[in-house]
Amino acid sequence: MSSVSKTARVATPHAAPQTSVSPTSVSPTSVSPTSVSPTSAAPTAQSHAAAKSKKTGKLHKGPSLWYTAPALIFFGVFALIPLVGVLVLSFTTWDGLGAITFNGIGNWVRMFQDPLVMNAFKLTIILTIVSWAVQTPICILLGTFMAGTQKYRAFLAVFYFLPLLFSSTAVAITWKNLLDPNFGVGKAFGIGWLAHNWLGDPKTALWTVIFVVSWCFIPLHSLLYQGAVRQIPQTMYEAATIDGAGPIRQFFSITLPQLKYTFATDSTLMIVGSLTYFDLVYVMIGGGPGNATRILPLDMYLKGFKSYDMGGASVVGVIILALGIAVSLILNKVSGSDKMESQMEGA
Amino acid sequence: MIRIKNKQYNVVGGFLGWFWFALIVIPIYYIVVTSLRDQSEIYSQNPLSLPKHFTFAAYGRVFANDFLLYIGNTLFVTIVTVALILLVTVMAAYAITRRADAGARAIYKVIITGLAIPMQATIIPVYYLIIQMGLYDTLWAIILPSVGFAIPITVMILCNFLRDIPQSLFEAMEVDGATEWKIMWRLAIPMIKPAIITVSIYDALQVWNGFLFPLILTQSSSNRVITLSLWAFQGQFTVDIPGILAAVVVSVIPILTAYIIGRKQMVAGLTAGFSK
């Protein structure tokens, strides 16, 4: 679909009524010469409009754009400047305290030869893909299950939310103890292999992290699927039942296809989110044993704040940013008109 | 109307449903029961059995470690952050939706871009900025970046709700000669009160449970927030398992209380931004 139609669709309902009341209004379709440049000229155009409307006593359109200034300052200083800043810092040498000196592409060359970065990159990709592949089917099933109106399901759902109330730090500490081979829950059932040192063994550490990440985030994503399943028109199921389709057939022919937009949005959230799992892994095992769980965000933190190599850490930061933006763009393209984008379009 | 397909045997869903229930309840039961155990029982008893001698000693050790101060710090940070977020985002969202012109749309697009970006990757420049502002190791070092990071999602949600207010209501107030400031306070804010509650809960949870900013931007124990103190506590008292888990329980209790009081609003807040 074209961006033109999208803009038109979004703009009309809001712009149209205002155009009808206010002669000074600047609707997207009839841009007046005084307000061509959106960001810089708009406040001026607005103050003109305000002045004019005061003089003529006519209605003016909406508040000054200065209302957005406080939000823009916060967003600019703590989001946009750091976004550029991390790129700039990736070309410098800085220990976190002293002076910052420019060193060209030195960090980049160094980081691309750093086995830790390559290892972190690989681990991040594995963590992202596997946790997405594990969580999504469970979330869809659990979401469909919770969407049912039976009382006991509502009762279970009350408990499903509990992990969402825990901070990542609390979750990490809980599981670290729970999985301890000496006093953890593995001992409770008398099954030998359960008391394995899951987090201490480099072979199982990453998979254990994926398990805990799933425990932590499945409730949230199930909630989103639950909401989506509840929006599927009941008549579709009734029609299918009349046609003789059983529950399994209905799940695959109605529920799953109807969830495709939620699937696209939710997958984006899950994947971009998993690029930044830091708290959980850091508190639970700190990237170890060895470097078995040293994913990119952890590598960034350890390089910057433990080895005082802010330049190298910034390179890793830029890699994370690039990955995140690439994933968002690709998933947006693949899913076509997903919900997120339509929400992003309308102002 | 009961969902037809769910009336029938949903074996897979049912199995998964109860399995997941166990997977949630067992860990929570474990932390509570272990926090009430005596240190000497930890290795000898079945981890899931009830303690032979219930003891609240572990909780005593937690509170002796200034946990009340840390909860106070966290409350301060959370309240100030959410108040600031609401102040700046309500104004911005109001102007953006009321104007709906090219300038407003451009501003909206810039802000919303923040949603697609893993912002945590920019902590190093944030650290630099906080040092330059002289705010390192203060609670403001947590508050200000938290406000900045929360703006995209909060503005998006508020805009979604503000757009639903009928234009005629605004026009009616304009005709009465109300200023924009007055229209915002008297009309827009009361109309989107549910949305404001939802985003407040969402943002408050993010701040309350946040770990990265406190870890990087504060240092002294007098400026510790609850997540950081939890982490520090387990680093300091590695062998005091009941104590560590008691600290976990203490850290969750305020949020759990909120969940029990306002479960509906809380669930709406948890999923804010994903579904309207």
pLDDT in tens, B26-65: 999 999 999 998 888 777 778 788 888 888 888 998 898 8
Closest-CA residue of A relative to B153 is: A344
A250 and B163 within 8 Å at the Cβ level: the answer is no
pLDDT of residue A63: 84
pLDDT of residue A149: 79
Q: Would you write out chain A's pLDDT as a tens digit for each of its 347 residues?
A: 333 333 333 333 333 333 333 333 333 333 333 333 333 333 344 444 444 444 444 445 678 889 999 999 999 999 999 999 999 999 999 998 889 999 989 999 999 999 999 999 999 999 999 999 999 999 999 888 888 878 888 888 888 888 888 999 999 999 999 888 888 877 777 777 777 888 888 889 999 999 999 998 898 888 889 888 888 888 888 888 888 888 888 888 888 888 888 888 888 888 888 887 898 999 999 888 888 999 999 999 999 999 999 999 999 999 999 998 888 888 877 765 444 444 443 33
- Domain co-membership, B28 together with B73: no
Its domain, for residue A21, covers 3-63
- Domain co-membership, B10 together with B125: no
Contacts of B208 in chain A (CB under 8 A): 167
- Domain co-membership, B230 together with B195: yes
**B167 shares contact with chain A (CB less than 8 Å):** yes
pLDDT of residue B274: 60
CATH number at residue A168: 1.10.3720.10
Interface A:B, Cβ pairs < 8 A = 380
3-state DSSP assignment of residue B41: helix
Q: Mean pLDDT, chain B, as a whole number?
A: 88
Average pLDDT over residues B220-230: 93
B156 and A148 within 8 Å at the Cβ level: the answer is no
pLDDT of residue A342: 42
Query: How many domains is chain A built from?
Result: 2
Question: Can you tell me the distance from the alpha carbon of A124 to that of A327, in angstroms, rounded to the nearest whole number?
Answer: 13
Share of chain B above pLDDT 70, in %: 95
- Domain co-membership, A56 together with A146: no
Task: Tell me, yes or no, whether B275 lies in a domain.
Answer: no
**pTM higher than 0.90 for the full model?**
no
Question: Can you tell me the distance from the alpha carbon of A7 to that of A345, in angstroms, rounded to the nearest whole number?
Answer: 7
B92 and A160 within 8 Å at the Cβ level: the answer is no
Query: How many domains is chain B built from?
Result: 2
Contacts of A67 in chain B (CB under 8 A): 91-92, 94-95, 180
Give the pLDDT confidence of A254-264 residue by residue, as tens digits. Answer: 888 888 888 88
Task: Tell me, yes or no, whether A10 lies in a domain.
Answer: yes
A28 and B102 within 8 Å at the Cβ level: the answer is yes
- Domain co-membership, A113 together with A59: no
Mutate to test the interface with B, among A97, A127, A173, A221 (most CBs of B within 10 A): A173
Q: How far is B89 from chain A (nearest CA, A)?
A: 6
B8 and A247 within 8 Å at the Cβ level: the answer is yes
Tokens of A310: 């802010």
Its domain, for residue B187, covers 61-270
CATH number at residue B101: 1.10.3720.10
Question: Which is more confident, B222 or A335?
Answer: B222
pLDDT of residue B28: 93
Give the pLDDT confidence of A132-144 residue by residue, as tens digits. Answer: 999 999 999 988 8
- Domain co-membership, B41 together with B109: no
Under 8 Å CB-to-CB from B85, ≥6 apart: which residues? B147, B150, B151, B154, B199, B203
Q: What is the 3-state secondary structure (H, E, C) of B249-269?
A: HHHHHHHHHHHHHCHHHHHHH
Give me the residue label for tokens 């990440």.
A213
Average pLDDT over residues B168-178: 88
Contacts of A48 in chain B (CB under 8 A): none
Distances in Å between the Cα of A1 and the Cα atoms of A136, A219, A236, B99 are 27, 34, 27, 26
Contacts of A228 in chain B (CB under 8 A): 275
B263 and A158 within 8 Å at the Cβ level: the answer is yes
Give the pLDDT confidence of B67-100 residue by residue, as tens digits. Answer: 899 999 999 999 999 999 999 999 999 999 988 8
